[in-house]
Chain A
Amino acid sequence: MNFAYYPGCSARGSSKDYEMSTQAVCKALDMRLVDIPDWNCCGSTPAHAVDTELSAALCVRNLDIAAQQKAEVLLTPCPSCLSNLRMAAKRMENPAFRSRVDELLDGPSAKEFPPVTSVMQGIAAQMDMGAITARVRQSLKGLKLVAYYGCLMSRPAEVMNFGDPENPTLMEEMMSACGAEMLDFPLKTACCGASFGIPERPMTAKNSGRILELATRLGADAIVVACPLCQMNLDLRQDQASAAMDTKFRMPVLYFTQMMGIAFDLPEKELGLNKLCVSADGLIRKLGELRREEAAKPAEQKAKAAEGGR
């Protein structure tokens, strides 16, 4: 099945591995993500921080394109894009606001826009967890994972429509469906420091450090994320976070689609695992050992029975 898709700017740059793994996993689930033509940047935080109407105009151009495409729903992997697109659509319900925004565009925008949701919700809408489990070829059983949603996915609750704003669970459900043990993570919606990495490093270093510290103390094998900026702050900037917390973290941070891709036994090249700054090699190795141990068990048991037990 085809889905209208808004990749977002990082998909082509710093979160290319998110894009690769998203495409790979969706393909494996018979979902074809088709870019809407000529999409532009949603403006992310800088646009709405500067001016609400400017931000809305950048978003509405994309919503308009999706409407012209007669898309039933528009999927996007990035929570910031999702948040801006949904906020813009909501604000456009106000006629005064709409006319102000239309003034900035080439032409008046469509009366109605298709709803925008995350790729994660898109997958969950298409299939239940049982169907995901059915696609698993290499169970993640034995891996202890932490699901980190970031601050934008579930807030503001009435706009994002992503479950309980304090305790969203969709990512845990998907990872559990792949066999992983999901640890209870109280900081799952705490902010990682967002885009302040560049202008104010301590902001990301401390906030991401706090998240890495708790995940490490809980004994997680990896943190699973769904946001390009969170991933960058926790992974690319992990050494900066380590410095801020006066320690040395070694925590792989994978996109949930990379994790699913591993469970589906898709080729590592397609998942962009080599793009991870903190290597996932150790994780993959551990997973391999766990699966081998499990496979060896029946043989072991047979051997024990043959020896008459001990």
Chain B
Amino acid sequence: MRIGVFICHCGSNIAGTVDCAKVAAIARTYPDVVYADDPMYTCAEPGQAAIEAAIHEHKLDGVVVASCSPRMHEPTFRRTVERAGLNRYMLEMANIREHVSWIGKDMEANTNKAAELVQLAVEKLRNNKPLMAKSFDVNKRVLVIGGGVAGIQAALDCADGGVPVVLVEREATIGGKMAKLDKTFPTVDCSACILGPKMVDVAQHSNITLYAYSEVEDISGYVGNFTVKIRKRSTYVDWSLCTGCGACTEKCPAKKTPDAFNELTGTTTAITIAFPQAIPKKAVINPQFCRQLLKGKCGVCAKVCPTGAIKYDMEDEIITEEVGSIVAATGYDLMDWTVYKEYGGGTYPDVITSLQYERLLSASGPTGGHVKRPSDGREPKNIVFVQCVGSRDKSVGRPYCSGFCCMYTAKQAILTKDHIPDSKSFVFYMDIRAPGKMYDEFTRRAMEEYGTEYIRGRVSQIYPDANGQMTVMGVDTLLGQPVEIKADLVVLAVGVEASKGSPQLAEKLRISYDSYGFFMESHVKLKPVETNTAGVYLAGVCQGVKDIPASVAQGSAAAAKVLALFSKDKLESDPQIAQVDIRRCVNCGKCIRCCPFGAIKEVEIRGEGKAQVIETVCQGCGLCTSTCPQGAIQLSHATDNQILAEVNALCQC
């Protein structure tokens, strides 16, 4: 072999504590090394050009670069040697920055260690083989899981980009939490008015197939070729016949069904259409409250339905879709605030959550937009908003900030004043987080123009007075005094958590999630919408708390990633995967069992069972290599022999 070695100075980062020239000189004495140099900045353009020139001039067939961590520049230098005509896997790196120069200042010790690490890299390179990437087809269709504003945006952008979209939404209507809001900050736009057109676009877009009231049952496959099973839950109404006229909801006798869309602030009928602007605007029967389904006695809706759409014997249906990429946009739920027994733990009707209050404020809500106390229906005059209920609270296992409560509390205080001009609102806060455009000004409006009393301090206890009001025991830390307020209504800004079922969905998607259920991005700063699983992207609050503009932005960002993925007709697979030597394989099956990705299967070759790697699924983790008792399965570019070569070199140093 003819190997060239480049010892990078990295300015003074490496050269400050390593004698690079000396290391280069030592490298020249290693077997197969015909050229060695110590450039100032190898990754910069002149540095890379120098490597290419050396390859041509000295007819090198392998390159070692001793510099920073491969996590920084391995792809860079691989491309460099490829441009000069070599196979990109005939490059090895020795990390003499993070592993040497950044650790200590002893020049002699560092230089020695750098020389040794270079020797290891040379030995590895001497055992490397050129590897070829394979290419495979890409199915240019995308699955978007979740029809909230982030999912809607991702779906629309992909569809507009010419990519067919399968949109799966768990509820009966798309729109997510944004559809439940009355108005949005900081413009106080009507939420349904700005979201509605987008929802209609989704319904009408020729490139979007919408499965509402459905859930993802199973996902198999790999980037470019996912097979997804979707469970269309039974609505007991044939949506191809239902016109959304609502005659059934008017006549249904089961009027005490808990109203989930309205956050349980009221009751509804067993057959419902979620809200007037629902997409799809179709009826759904709640089987736990429908008298026909429970007791076989009723059938009123079937009688009044003008199109005969009611089907009491309907069953769940499993649909299979094939897609090339998946966007997870599953949003959030409020945490279980009933753990706050000092606030009544859910037993006091006049202590409600912010989402419940949003439904009371909304014209499509259970009170027609008139703010009424749940206990007696009277209009409240003193309203207390409590922020940070289940956020920034280690004692309930929720240390993080939920990001948008300060803003929506200010909005709700403003709206309250609009609805009830002679009301007085109080807000208990710890800090005000208002970082967006016009956000801080908005919170100041609530205080300065709308007369909301902002009190800095938490609330220790809320309990009912005997006269129907709630006593709120709080504190004003700026005044340094405990304070007490008698409130007609208390609204809690409850902290958010990842949507129910997030961990289970993450398992199906084979992506990671944190201890709160939020899906893990590839890099929290630089890759917020990608995951470590190729082909799966994230958008919206499922990745972390954020407001509507950020969710929409991430929806578009995820769509951009999908469109970029689909801009090629074929995808390249990473050749650093496991390979089976069938001469050695004894079909013990240990590798199949230990592979976390299900990337190995048993096949029959000439009448014998052998293991075979599914190349596009293998992630190159190497577990099989260390498990196989025969050494039959080897991870390319990290085979036993290659690693042992490095070990031998190290032992002889």
Contacts and interface: CB of A to CB of B under 8 A. Distances in A.
Interface string A156-177: 0000000010110000000000
Interface in B331-348: 341-342, 344-345, 347
Contacts of B347: 184
A218 B467 CA distance: 9
A184 B345 CA distance: 13
Contacts of A241: none
B465 to A, nearest CB: 7
B345 A217 contact: no
B473 to A, nearest CB: 10
A310 B347 CA distance: 42
B631 interface: no
B463 A167 contact: no
A167 B343 CA distance: 11
Nearest to A188: B463
B51 to A, nearest CB: 64
Interface residues of B, number: 11
B464 interface: yes
Interface string A194-229: 000000000000000000001001110000000000
B396 to A, nearest CB: 12
B461 interface: yes
A210 to B, nearest CB: 10
Contacts of A184: 347, 464
A164 B341 contact: yes
A186 interface: yes
A45 B602 CA distance: 73
B98 to A, nearest CB: 43
B61 to A, nearest CB: 68
B463 A187 contact: yes
B463 A166 contact: no
Interface string A66-102: 0000000000000000000000000000000000000
A164 B340 CA distance: 11
Contacts of B345: 166-167
B466 A214 contact: yes
Given A166-B341, A167-B341, A167-B345, A186 B464 contact: yes
B346 to A, nearest CB: 12
Interface in A136-165: 164
A167 B467 CA distance: 22
A233 to B, nearest CB: 20
Interface string B223-253: 0000000000000000000000000000000
B465 A166 contact: no
B229 to A, nearest CB: 43
Contacts of B465: 214, 217
Contact of A218 (B344, B461, B466): B466
A166 B396 CA distance: 14
Interface string B451-477: 000000000010111110000000000
Interface of B: 341-342, 344-345, 347, 461, 463-467
Given A184-B347, A187-B463, A217-B467, 7 more contacts: A164-B341, A166-B342, A184-B464, A186-B463, A214-B465, A217-B465, A218-B466
20 contacts: A164-B341, A166-B341, A166-B342, A166-B345, A167-B341, A167-B345, A184-B347, A184-B464, A186-B344, A186-B461, A186-B463, A186-B464, A187-B463, A214-B465, A214-B466, A217-B465, A217-B466, A217-B467, A218-B466, A219-B466
